Chains A and B, each alone.
Chain A
Amino acid sequence: MLSPSLRIERARPLLGTTVSIRVEGLAEAQAHRAIDEAFCEVALVHGLMSFQERDSDISRLNRDACFQTVEVHPATFEVLHWARRIAEASDGVFDITIGPKLVEWGHLPAPQSRYAPDPEASWRDVELGDDYSSVRFRRPLWIDVSGLAKGYAVDRAIERIQQFCARQACVNAGGDLRVLGPDEERVALELPMPQDALPMLTIQSAAVASSSGHVQERIHDGTIRGPHVDARRGAPIPTSRFACVVAEECLIADALTKPVLALGAESEGLLRAFGALAHCHDPTLGWRHLPKDAA
């Protein structure tokens, strides 16, 4: 007989972090199959969308797409499509063409490339074909999709587990996570600085992603630069800020943490457009919950 409380959780190093997958309410062999297949989805995204790995779709684009049309996997195309929608909705605060800034600040290694990226290039120069597979750059540029690919991988993994009819499941890629099922789960939020209270979310069938730059600070030209960029100004976002976004899908939650970090309260319209909520912390302003009327 199937024990309703049977809970199986496994973890693997993927996407540059630790990805854990938990499944409840499936027979043991079935649970392991579901987890194996979910890890395959994460590994697929890892292989296609790494900035560092030479044969990824992203590396191929950064090498060739400003000279010729490049065919990419449907998953890569989907991520680029969402990147464009979020860039449009955020008026370019979210922009996957910030790769050169992250290379300059030491967060990413320089890709093997035959050209220097054009500092004027933006998300508008990434041309997506009507065939859902071809991509071309209108100017020399480097893209980096690590601001939303992790969330996308979590969504693909959860959707795969959904096909196995698990009662409850969670996929967590280093703190960007999505929970499926009727149970409420608690998520502790970890801020850059020690606080006098523990910030905690109780969620049910939702995705959560958080961003803060303190873990990956680099010093460049004498100033501290985290891994997040306000793409409109090309300026680093202060690393003491923290943003957590809750959404139906982890891609949305993951991507929106960056414009929320950059814009604070000005990101309300953006959050509404994607049905998302945000909890932001700033050492001077304290906690802010957005949109304001969303309880």
Chain B
Amino acid sequence: MRAQFVLVPFATLGIVAPAHAVVYMSVAQAQAMMFPGATFAPEFKTLTKQQVSAIEKASSVDVHNNDLKVWRVSTGGWFIADQVVGKHEYIPLALGLDAQGAVKAVEILEYREAYGDQVRNPAWRSQFTGKKHGAALTLTKDIQNISGATLSSRHITDGIKRLLATYAIAIAQD
């Protein structure tokens, strides 16, 4: 175990990307991983007003987008690519369902949460204005991790609840 603590003054820090953004995998990679060897037939749908309100009623979660990206899997089951509203940003995720509509796998495709609320705070951000010199650290490339108060993944679990209601209302019944 080795650990060293430093306080990096913002004046010497050229932060290029204030948001912590990680791309974990593409939709195609998630498909191949959840259903190895299968082929995927797109059955994209636009949810009707009635379906949206039924989904919202069943899941108690708002539907922000009525376009549903769903694929029928050749080996049985469904694959949905969707996004949930995070604290500030959209978080794309993939949901694999088996032929009975039970969750087979969930993978977060990208994570774009900001380095807390600090970067949303204009006073905090103004510190970086015109300060591009010095060792440029990017929060994504050079700082691999952030540790702070644990952020809840409530928005993601709510999103999955909404997609399961969507499956019951708009996919299974078709």
Q: Which residues of A contact B (CB under 8 A)?
A: 9-14, 16-18, 20, 22, 32, 150, 170, 172-177, 179, 184-192, 194, 196-206, 208-216, 242, 244, 246-248, 275, 277, 279, 287, 289
Contact = CB atoms under 8 A, between A and B. Distances in A.
B54 to A, nearest CB: 24
Given A187-B146, A188-B145, A18 B153 contact: yes
Contacts of B107: 10-12
30 contacts: A10-B24, A13-B108, A14-B153, A16-B150, A16-B154, A17-B152, A17-B153, A18-B108, A20-B24, A174-B151, A177-B145, A184-B2, A185-B145, A186-B144, A190-B149, A192-B149, A196-B9, A196-B10, A198-B7, A198-B10, A200-B7, A201-B4, A201-B147, A205-B1, A206-B3, A208-B147, A210-B147, A215-B152, A248-B1, A277-B3
A38 B37 CA distance: 23
Contacts of A210: 147-149
Interface string B5-33: 11111100100000000101100000001
Contacts of A185: 144-145
A12 B106 contact: yes
Given A176-B150, A194-B124, A208-B3, 19 more contacts: A10-B107, A13-B156, A17-B151, A176-B147, A185-B144, A187-B143, A190-B118, A194-B118, A197-B8, A200-B7, A204-B3, A205-B2, A208-B145, A212-B148, A214-B149, A215-B152, A216-B149, A275-B1, A289-B5
Nearest to A197: B7
Interface in B152-171: 152-154, 156-157, 160
B144 A189 contact: no
Contact of B142 (A172, A186, A201, A279): A186
Contacts of A176: 147, 150
Majority SS at the chain B contact face = mixed
Given A13-B108, A172-B145, A174-B151, A32 B2 contact: no
Contacts, number: 163
A27 to B, nearest CB: 15
Nearest to B146: A188
B1 A11 contact: no
Given A17-B153, A18-B156, A9 B24 contact: yes
B63 interface: no
Contact of A246 (B3, B115, B153, B156): B3
A277 B152 CA distance: 26
A188 B147 contact: yes
Contacts of A275: 1
4 nearest A-B pairs in the assembled complex, by CB-CB distance? A190-B148, A11-B108, A13-B156, A174-B150
B124 to A, nearest CB: 4
Contacts of A173: 150
Given A190-B115, A194-B118, A246 B1 contact: yes
Nearest to B154: A16
A202 B3 contact: yes
B33 A287 contact: no
